[in-house]
Amino acid sequence: MRPEEQINNINFAIDKNNLYREESITDMKVGAIRHLIPIKSDGSTDAARAELFIGHTQLMSPEGPLPIQAELPATSMDDAMNVFPQAMKQALAEMIEQIQQLQRQQQQKKQDASRIIIPGR
C-alpha cells in the first residue's frame, strides 16, 4: 500500500461522545494526578459520566526514567491522593511481573534455539 493510501485510511475523527477536560495536579516531588472531567461537545460538564483520576510517577533505573501510570479508583481529588501510593506500588509490581515473564520467554526461546537436532533420533 502506498504511503498516501495508508494516510487516507487513518481515522482522525474525534469521538464527540467521549470528551474530557483535563486538569493536572502535581506535588513536584513524587508524581502527578490527571483529573479527567467528562464534558459534552459544547464544553459543558457531562454529569451522566464519572470523572476519572490517573496517577503518574517515574522511577530512575540504570536505563533511565521508568514511567509508571495507573487509574486511581477515586471519586474526588482527596481520594485520589490517598490511593495514589498503593496504586503506584501495584502498577510497579505488575510491570515487574510482565518484565520477568518476557525475560522467561526470551530465555526459553534461546534454549529452544540452541538445542542440537540429530537426524535419525
Each residue's pLDDT expressed in tens, for the chain with a length of 121 residues: 788 888 888 999 999 999 999 999 999 999 999 999 999 999 999 999 999 999 999 999 899 999 999 999 999 999 999 999 999 999 999 999 999 999 999 988 877 777 766 776 5
Whether the CA torsion 31, 37, 41, 42 is positive or negative: it is negative
| Chain mean position to CA 95 | 10
